[in-house]
Structure formats: C-alpha cells, structure tokens
C-alpha cells in the first residue's frame, strides 16, 4: 500500500471511540502511541493534519450528562465543555515529541462558501508552513442541525480537499470495507482496494453494513467521504484504529481498504476553477502579462489594462488578451473596485494604493489556463461550487 508513504500531505481522522475510554476520559496511552506514529510521518517530511472527534464524548462526562441520548443544545454544550479537554489531550500527546498543535474549528460554510473556504485554506496553510499540526473538529457549539457537516468522516474529506492532501486515513473501529456486515455474515470478506466507487461497492456499504462501527458515521458515510476525497485527488484508507501504531501497521500490510483517487489534487482544483464557476468579471491584460499567464505565472497588476464586472475577492474571473480571447480563468484576490485601482501598478505600489496587499491579482495556484477551460468531470464535487 503505497498511497500513505507517497503523500506529501496526510489527513488522519480519529474517531471518538479511539480517543475516549469507557470511563469517558481521554485515552492517554492511545494518544501517546498515535503521536509517535505521526512523528514517523513527519520525520519523512510529510505534513499531517488531524481531524479529531471526541468533544461531545468528553464534554458530556464533564457536564454529568451520563450516557443518555442528548438533545442538540446538550450536544452543543457538551462540545463546548469537551473541546478544551480534547485539545489538552492532543497537546499532552504531541508536545513531548516536540510538536505544536493548533485548534481549528470549522463549519460547513468554511468548506463550501468560497470566500470562507479561501480564508480557512490560508489559515491552515500558514499553520502547516510553520510546522504545526492542525487538530480540526467541527464547530459543534455554534452550528445548527441544518448547517452541520454532522460527522467527521465527511468533514475530514472536506479538509483533505481544502489542503490538497493526497491521502486521507479514516481510523475507526472496523478493519475496512467488507462485502457484507462481518458481524452478521461469516462469509463477508474485506475488500483491500477499490479503484472506482461503483454502485455495487456502494451497495456493500448500505443496508445493515451502513451502521457498521459505533461512531457517528457508519460505512455509508465513510464511502461518501471517500467519494469527496477521490474526486478531489485524494486516496482514502479505511482501517482499524485500535491497533498499536495504526499508520505504521497499514504500511506494514495490516488489513485496510484503499479507495483510489480519480485524479490528483492540483488537477481537481484547476478543473474546478475552469469548469464549474460562473465568472463574475473579466480582466483584460497586455501581451506581456498574457504570455506570463499562458506559462502559468501569477497575474500581476502591472499587466492589467481594464477590469469589467462586479466581483468580490475569491470570485472567478476570466482573463482575456487585448484581442478579447479568453486565456485563463482564476480566482481573483481583490474586489472589482480595488482591482480597477490597481491596473498598471507595480506590485510594490499595491499597499500604498489600497492600504493593504493580498499579493498578485490572481495567484498562479488559483489559475487555470484556457486549454483546460470547460473541463467537465470533477468540477461538481469541488469546493465552493
Ligand atoms: N464533532 C463531534 C465531536 O467532536 C464528532 C463527530 C463525529 O464523530 O463524526 O464530538
């Protein structure tokens, strides 16, 4: 299984059942072992993000709510009380190995509304650049039922998409995807590798198997997460988290199901920019800037001749040459009225003109050159569409 070792960025989802012991307290021994597992990936130069459940499970104990079913406000109160305990547990596990962690609480809008998506991405990228391990959870305390992601399987897939991760590991209480529910059907066999998520594969995760596992998300939500990840260029690995050093174990051949990526993260992102966004405006650029953009370089204000349309920061715009031909599409870093003021300016004059600078008008990372414009396919599942 090569996906985990080959990934530059790995998102690991840790379920409540692993983190919280039967007594309702954090599982220190499991966390310490897992931290060592993470350290091994980091020593190979890989970046690791953790999506951790457990706030509600830890908080309900703190609040004396026992094991009964909780109302939504009680769950939210538990998450408020438990999230700090959860972070303390992660800090206690990671700090002895020299890692700093940072709490990132996301809502569904942060992964689906484009401006918030860009903002969340910038924050997480900054943390990763500083060598920090982001520990991410849903912001359960403020979300309402209608706007929740609801389970950390899907949240972790959205995070993988947000950061362009190549591998998503779902650590849970099952070994992987089986042909049927292994607790009921002795003939059930583990599927080690899924190349395409076909309806037949999805049917295996349905019915009785849908709820396999005690976490919020059964096998059906795991496959939904895998579909989001696959279309974003990220492979998903479903495996048992209770064994020692689970990440090391899967590289050593322990039981797991790998769901392959359909594309790579960069291609998925570029196809989304090219294909699924209705452009909100256009930038007409001079010949020098047009040549640079065709080579995939960032669009600087110096080469921009005119700005059309009413767009906001983060919106998709068309980039045209002076003959009016579309040469690229990209996500613009300034609102239209600011972009208009920047036309023809050198980059070091942006700050003086606007009082702030967000860098180039369209960064190379957020640019899709016209040869790919209109590419169908992965677009629909990409962020913020
Ligand atoms: N966000 C929830 C928590 O931290 C868990 C959701 C899940 O386990 O999928 O308790």
Q: Residue 69 pLDDT more than 60? A: yes
Q: How far apart are CA 197 and CA 324, in angstroms?
A: 42
Task: Judge if the beta carbon of residue 231 lies within 6 A of ligand 1.
Answer: no
The per-residue pLDDT for 119 is 87
Task: Judge if the beta carbon of residue 19 lies within 6 A of ligand 1.
Answer: no
Alpha helices in the chain (DSSP H): 3-6, 16-19, 28-43, 55-62, 72-94, 108-112, 114-129, 152-163, 199-204, 219-231, 246-251, 265-275, 287-294, 336-342, 350-354
Q: How far apart are CA 50 and CA 34, in angstroms?
A: 11
Instruction: Kindly state the average pLDDT of the residues 91-99.
Output: 97
Q: Whose CA is nearest to atom 5 of ligand 1?
A: 53
Instruction: Kindly state the average pLDDT of the residues 62-80.
Output: 92
The per-residue pLDDT for 320 is 96
| Percent of the chain whose pLDDT exceeds 90 | 71
Give residue 18's pLDDT band: very low, low, confident or very high (50, 70, 90): very high
Task: Judge if the beta carbon of residue 37 lies within 6 A of ligand 1.
Answer: no
Domain with CATH 3.40.1160.10 in the chain: 2-269
Q: How far apart are CA 261 and CA 234, in angstroms?
A: 5
- Using the atom order of ligand 1, give the atom closest to the CA of residue 57: 10
Q: How far apart are CA 197 and CA 89, in angstroms?
A: 36
Task: Judge if the beta carbon of residue 216 lies within 6 A of ligand 1.
Answer: yes
Work out the mean pLDDT of the chain and round it to a whole number.
89
pTM of the entire structure?
0.85
Instruction: Characterize the bridge pairing of strands 101-106 and 47-52.
Output: unpaired
The per-residue pLDDT for 202 is 85
Q: Kindly state the tokens that stand for 219.
A: 């096998």
Task: Judge if the beta carbon of residue 103 lies within 6 A of ligand 1.
Answer: no
As assigned by CATH, the class of the 277-369 domain is mainly beta
Task: Judge if the beta carbon of residue 56 lies within 6 A of ligand 1.
Answer: yes
Q: Residue 136 pLDDT more than 80? A: yes
56 alpha carbon – ligand 1 mean position (Å): 7
Domain with CATH 2.30.130.10 in the chain: 277-369
Instruction: Kindly state the average pLDDT of the residues 148-157.
Output: 91
| Percent of the chain whose pLDDT exceeds 70 | 92
Higher pLDDT, 233 or 186: 233
Q: What is the CATH number of domain 2-269?
A: 3.40.1160.10
Give residue 207's pLDDT band: very low, low, confident or very high (50, 70, 90): low
87 alpha carbon – ligand 1 mean position (Å): 13
The 8-class DSSP code of residue 14 comes to E
211 alpha carbon – ligand 1 mean position (Å): 16
Instruction: Kindly state the average pLDDT of the residues 78-102.
Output: 97
* Distances 324 to 199, 235, 305, 363 between C-alpha atoms, Å: 44, 40, 12, 21
């Amino acid at each position: 299984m090569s996906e985990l070792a080959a990934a530059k960025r790995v998102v690991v989802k840790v379920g409540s059942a692993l983190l919280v012991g039967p007594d309702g307290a954090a599982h220190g021994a499991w966390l310490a072992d897992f931290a060592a597992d993470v350290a091994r990936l980091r020593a190979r130069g890989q970046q690791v993000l953790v999506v951790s459940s457990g706030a509600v499970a830890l908080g309900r104990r703190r609040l004396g709510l026992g094991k009964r079913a909780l109302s939504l406000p009680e769950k939210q109160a538990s998450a408020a009380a438990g999230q700090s305990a959860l972070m303390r547990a992660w800090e206690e596990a990671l700090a002895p190995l020299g890692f700093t962690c940072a709490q990132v609480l996301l809502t569904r809008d942060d992964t689906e509304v484009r401006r918030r998506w860009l903002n969340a991405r910038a924050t997480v990228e900054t943390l990763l650049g500083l060598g920090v391990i982001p520990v991410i959870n849903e912001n359960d305390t403020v979300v309402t039922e209608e706007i929740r992601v609801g389970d950390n399987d899907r949240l972790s897939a959205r995070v993988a998409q947000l950061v362009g991760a190549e591998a998503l590991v779902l650590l849970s209480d099952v070994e992987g995807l089986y042909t049927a529910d292994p607790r009921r059907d002795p003939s059930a066999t583990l599927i080690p590798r899924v190349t395409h998520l076909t309806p037949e594969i999805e049917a295996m995760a349905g019915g009785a198997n849908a709820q396999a596992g005690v976490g919020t998300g059964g096998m059906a939500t795991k496959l939904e997460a895998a579909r989001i990840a696959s279309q974003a260029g990220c492979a998903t690995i479903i495996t048992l988290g209770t064994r020692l050093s689970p990440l090391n174990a899967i590289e050593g051949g322990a039981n797991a199901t790998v769901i392959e990526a359909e594309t790579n993260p960069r291609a998925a992102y570029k196809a989304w920019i090219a294909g699924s966004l209705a452009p909100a405006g256009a930038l007409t650029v001079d010949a020098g800037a047009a040549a640079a953009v065709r080579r995939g370089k960032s669009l600087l204000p110096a080469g921009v001749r005119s700005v059309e349309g009413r767009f906001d920061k983060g919106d998709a715009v068309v980039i045209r040459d002076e003959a009016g031909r579309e040469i690229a599409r990209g996500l613009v870093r300034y609102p239209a009225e600011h972009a208009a003021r920047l036309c023809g300016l050198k980059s070091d004059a942006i700050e003086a003109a606007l009082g702030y600078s967000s860098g180039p008008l369209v960064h190379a990372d957020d640019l899709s050159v016209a040869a790919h414009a209109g590419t169908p396919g992965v677009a629909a599942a990409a962020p913020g569409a």
